[in-house]
A and B are shown apart, each in its own frame.
Chain A
């Protein structure tokens, strides 16, 4: 086992992917707790599709993918959040509309210009080879910003997640924090898409939170445990991907799914 891991880390692109990926996994888990509890799980999924559309257009125009995708996805995050606030019942349908439209745009633009090539495939299902040096620095700074802001605003994020009306009534600027959470989610999604892929990044956001909620009883333990489980599953997924030669994103989601099932059973058993 140790030999395997040290062999993995002898490839610099792999160790780079693991370091960036674990940081992104931590951010996704932190934000995921709030998104899942506020019933915004689908926002992560919607944003990744918008990100795909933006990246495809950027590649077609020979622009830097992340430089185009980040602002577009942040704007989409504002829009999706507004939709969720305004019409609570219809927001899931609205998210589906926006995400499939963005995906369709991306596919059409690509097939008209370069054809569906390896780049597009890697955006769909992720690739650890897709990380350039610039991406690594960007990912590291995004992860750092998310982690620091989450710690600073932890108590407010709890209050808003638990009861937005109450928080607003006591004078918390709930809109500011909602926009902050949406922006951080957008950044995490765009950065995480490179490794996980458009189709799979939302798994990284939703699974750890749901897994932690099977067994944890307080918000603090849910937050801590979901970050731990997220990092562990990410690493295990990478090892799995390396040994079996399976795509990284899919392997990571699979380990997360396995962890969820294990803790679901533990939760059921301990409840008896």
Chain B
């Protein structure tokens, strides 16, 4: 995911809201015959705001995936048009998310803190982002330990129970680490080391997305 991070990320709230608007509008209008043009326009817009490399990487993944999805869709529904729409939806899903997935998480948490939103949201984000790789690591360690015991695999006994026990321990350590570093969900004042500000570039980007959506809705 690190390779995806933007060099000049957009303002966090813009990065979160704009992809949602692009996606929802796209899904609502996916049946339009011009739908591929909408996807191309979205990609070009993102490229113009410094996400060209990430757009290429995303397309390289999502185009093959979309073909698989389209194939399955065709097998179930026997309908070329529906399969095409499915492929378009999958590509849009991958591409539209770019401003959000290229956003460094710290920018988002700092933006939330600066806006005075509940800190429990920051907590959830910090942990959710961090926990997925932790889960991968712990699953690997448990599997290895079970191997050393020469056990016959049983999902509940040799996997679920030890993994859950480990993850609960880690969860407690995480919470403790937050508390000992003076994190609180109360109303205590906090500061932001590198404040994230809404710049002219973000305004241009927002205007461009707005113009694209309006044009597309009128066309579709």
To the question of whether A and B form a pair in one complex, the answer is no
